[in-house]
Amino acid sequence: MYRLRYRQVHLDYHTSPEIPGIGKDFNQREYQRTLKAGHVDSITTFSKCHHGWSYHPTKVGKMHPHLSFNLLRKQLDACKAIDVNVPIYLSAGVDNVASVEHPEWREVGANGQYQGWTREILQAGFHKMCFNSPYLDYLCRQIEEVARLFKDGDGFFLDIISQGQCCCKWCLAVMRKQGLDPLIEADRRACAQIALERYYRTTTAACRVVDAKKPVFHNSGHITRGSRDILKYFSHLELESLPTGGWGYDHFPLSAGYARGLKLDFLGMTGKFHMTWGEFGGFKHPHALRYECAAMLAYGSKCSVGDQLHPGGKLDASTYDLIGAAYAEVEQKEPWCDRAVNVAEIGVLSAASLHPGGARDDHPDTGACRILLEGQFLFDVLDAGMDFSPYRLLILPDTIRLPKGALRDKLIRYWKAGGRILLTGDSGLDENGKPVFPLGGKLEGVSPFSPDYVLPVPGVRPEFLKTPLVMYLPSRRLRVTTGQSLGPVYDPYFNRRYDHFCSHQHTPNRTQASPYACGVQQGRILYLAHPVFSMYRGWGAVPYRHYVTNAIRRLLGDPMVETSLPSTARLTLTRQAPEKRWILHLLSASPIRRGGAVELRDGDQVFHGRDVEVIEDLTPVRDTRVLIRLPGGRVPRTVTLEPQGKPVAFERTGDGIELMVDTFTCHQMVVLAY
C-alpha cells in the first residue's frame, strides 16, 4: 500500500493570462522557511491549471504568457532540499487554453448548450472538456511530458474527473458504434461511462510512462460510494471536504467511514479559506483548522489543507501561521495515529452505494451518519461488496430494497450467523414490497397520511416526551403480529388540503391510536416504519435522534464506549496492534451558521451571500466520564492522555473500565496500553 505523509498542502494556482509578473516574487529560501513554519511535509504543486496554462516550459501545451522561467522546477527543487514531497497537479476536466483553440472539444448537451461550470459564451469561468474527443489525447501527451521532465515528482493529482451526457460529434460517433441512441438518457449516460473508462485507463498509463509505481489520484470532488471498479487506477484517496465550502462538518466523517474499508491510504482535504477554493485573502479561524485536522486523525486519515498561491509566487505568511498551528499538533500526535486501525461495531450499508448517480449528500446516509455521530457510536460505512461479519449491528437506512440476488443472500447469512439488523422505511423489502426478514408484523402499504404521529414505548420514546410526536414523512402501515410493538401511530384527522385544513401547518393527531405501530422488534431484527434517517437529515428534530438512538441501543445492547459527552462532541476508537494499545479519540467543537442568502447590488454588479458553517470558539469540556468495554473484558495495563503523557486513573466495572477525563479542548487521545 502506498503511504501518504501526514501534513500536506494542496496549492492551487489557477492564474489568468491578464495578470503580469507570474512567479516574480518566488524566492527559494523564503519558500522553504514558510513551509517549515507551516510544518508542511508535502505540497501538491501545479504543472497546468484550469485556465490551461503550464508553469514550466512545454512542447505540448502553452506556458503562461507572463511566466519567464521554470516555476515548477524551482518549487520542486526547493521542496526536495528540505524533504518535502511534491505531487504534481494537472487540470484534466477543464482547460480554457484548449477550449479556445478547439471549441469542438467541449462537452455539449443534447440541447446544444455547452455543459459544465460555464454554459454560456459570455459567462466567466472554466470550460468542461469531453473525454471522448481528441482532447484526451492532448491531455495524455501533457501528462507524459511532465512525467519525463519531473521524474523526481511524487505522483500526480488529476482534477475535475467527470463526464456529462455529451452529444459532441465524437460522442455521437461512439453511440452509433455502440448501438446507443442519443435520444435516450440512459444511453447518453452509458456513453459517458465509456468516456470515463477511457480517461482512467489512458491517463493512468500516461502518469506511469516512466515509473510504473508512480502515485496517481483522480479527483471528482468526492468519493462515490460503491464505485470500486475504478480504484485500480488509484494509488490512494484524497477526500475533498471543505466544511465551509458547502460540504459541512458532518460530510468528512461519513466519507472517511467509507474510505477506511477500501484498502487504500487516504487523506482529508479541507481549506484555509473562510469559504472555498479561489478565495484570495479569506481565512478561517485557527481553531477551526485545529479541529478539522484533529478530526482527520481521529477518523483514520492523513491531513491536507487547501491554499491558493498568489500570482507573484510568494506563499502567504498568515496562511502558513494558520496551518502551522494545526500541523504542529498533528506532528506531535502522529505516533499514535500511524497505521492505526479503526474499531467499529456498527456497519451502515450505504444507500448511495446502491443508487448510482446520486448527489454528494445522500439523505439516508447523511441522516444515519449524523445520528450515529451525535450518539457517539462506533461505526463504518459499507457497500455491498464489503465484509459484514465484523459488525455486531448492520443499519439499512430508509431506501435499501432487497430483490433476489447476492446482497439479499449475504444479509440473510449475516443474520443467521447471529448478526443484528436495523431496518427503516422501505429498507429490507423485496421487489414486491414484502419484508425479506421476519419482522414480527405485517406491512399494509404506505400510509395515506402525512404527517402522522408516533408515541414510542418507554425506553424507545425520548425521555422528555409523553405525548405523540409529529413525523414529517409517510410511514409504512405496520400491523404487529408476533413481535414486540415499539409503540402506536396516531393518524391526523385528515391531510391538509384547500377544502379542509387546520391551523398554520398541519392537522393535529386523533386522540385514539390507530391499529398500526411505529416499529417492531423480533429477536435480532428491529424495524422502524418511517424513513427516520431522511427525516433527521431534512428536519433535524432532536426527538427523532433520541427515538432512533434508543432503538439502536435496544437492539445493539451495551456499546463498546459510553461517555457523558454532549451531542456536539465526537469519538472514535482505533487500535495499534504492534504497539499493543487502543486509542480513544475525543473531539469537541460547536459549528455555527453565519452569513446568509442576501443579494447586494453595486452598480451593474450583483453580489450573493450565503450561510457558512464555521468554528471560532473551542470551549473546554470538563469531567468527561468514559466507560470502555474492550473485547474479552480485557483490562489495560496503563491509561494515559497523549501526547501529554499524563497517567489517568481507572476502575474496573463489570465487563469494562471507567475513567474520568478532567478537561480537554478540541481533541484528546486516551491511550489504553496492554
Q: Please tell me what DSSP assigns to residue 88.
A: E
Residue 355 has a pLDDT of 83
Q: Would you say 4 and 265 are in contact if contact means Cβ atoms under 8 Å apart?
A: yes
Residue 120 has a pLDDT of 86
pLDDT of 41 strictly over 70: yes
Of 259, 561, 559, 551, the closest CA to residue 421 belongs to 551
Q: Is 341 helix (H, G, I), strand (E, B) or coil?
A: strand
Measured CA to CA, the distance from residue 612 to residue 108 in angstroms comes to 33
pLDDT of 285 strictly over 90: yes
- Which three three-digit cell numbers place residue 313? 509566487
- Which three three-digit cell numbers place residue 101? 483553440
Instruction: Kindly list the distances between the CA atom of residue 162 and the CA atoms of 158, 201, 449, 646, 652, in Å, as whole numbers in the listed order.
Output: 11, 14, 41, 49, 54
Residues above pLDDT 70, as percent of the chain = 99
pLDDT in tens, 123-163: 999 999 999 999 999 999 999 999 999 999 999 999 999 99
> HEC states along 406-440?
HHHHHHHHHHHCCCEEEEECCCCECCCCCECCCCC
Residue 357 has a pLDDT of 61
Looking at residues 487-502, what average pLDDT do you find?
94
pLDDT in tens, 381-391: 999 999 999 99
Look-up of cell digits 487521545:
669
Residue 221 has a pLDDT of 78
Measured CA to CA, the distance from residue 233 to residue 246 in angstroms comes to 28
Q: Considering the entire predicted model, what is its pTM?
A: 0.94
Looking at residues 7-26, what average pLDDT do you find?
98
Looking at residues 220-245, what average pLDDT do you find?
91
pLDDT in tens, 424-439: 999 999 999 999 999 9
Residue 495 has a pLDDT of 92
The whole-chain average pLDDT of the chain stands at 96
pLDDT of 359 strictly over 60: no
Residue 246 has a pLDDT of 86
Looking at residues 491-512, what average pLDDT do you find?
93
Of 22, 18, 222, the closest CA to residue 124 belongs to 18
Instruction: Kindly list the distances between the CA atom of residue 637 and the CA atoms of 131, 157, 378, 439, 581, in Å, as whole numbers in the listed order.
Output: 58, 44, 23, 44, 10
Measured CA to CA, the distance from residue 49 to residue 13 in angstroms comes to 6
Q: Quick one: how far is CA 141 from the chain centroid?
A: 32
pLDDT of 608 strictly over 60: yes
Q: Residue 570 half-sphere exposure, CB side, CA atoms within 13 Å?
A: 26
Instruction: Kindly list the distances between the CA atom of residue 576 and the CA atoms of 343, 418, 589, in Å, as whole numbers in the listed order.
Output: 10, 28, 26
Of 63, 72, 74, the closest CA to residue 27 belongs to 74
Residue 336 has a pLDDT of 98
At residue 224 the predicted structure's pLDDT band, cuts being 50, 70 and 90, is confident
Q: Would you say 72 and 87 are in contact if contact means Cβ atoms under 8 Å apart?
A: no
Residue 368 has a pLDDT of 98
Please give the backbone phi and psi of residue 375, each rounded to the nearest 5 degrees, phi first: -85, -5
pLDDT of 358 strictly over 60: no
pLDDT in tens, 170-203: 999 999 999 999 999 999 999 999 999 999 999 9
Residue 361 has a pLDDT of 67
Least confident of 250-259, 305-314, 388-397, 592-601: 592-601
Domains and CATH numbers, the chain: 1-44+65-85+235-338 (3.20.20.80), 88-214 (no CATH), 346-559 (3.40.50.880), 563-673 (2.60.40)
Looking at residues 61-88, what average pLDDT do you find?
98
- Tell me, what amino acid is at 529? A
> HEC states along 371-386?
HHHHCCCCEEEECCCC
pLDDT of 598 strictly over 80: no
pLDDT of 276 strictly over 80: yes
Q: What pairing do the DSSP bridges indicate for beta strands 581-588 and 667-673?
A: antiparallel
Measured CA to CA, the distance from residue 13 to residue 89 in angstroms comes to 10
- Which three three-digit cell numbers place residue 640? 494515559
Measured CA to CA, the distance from residue 186 to residue 192 in angstroms comes to 10
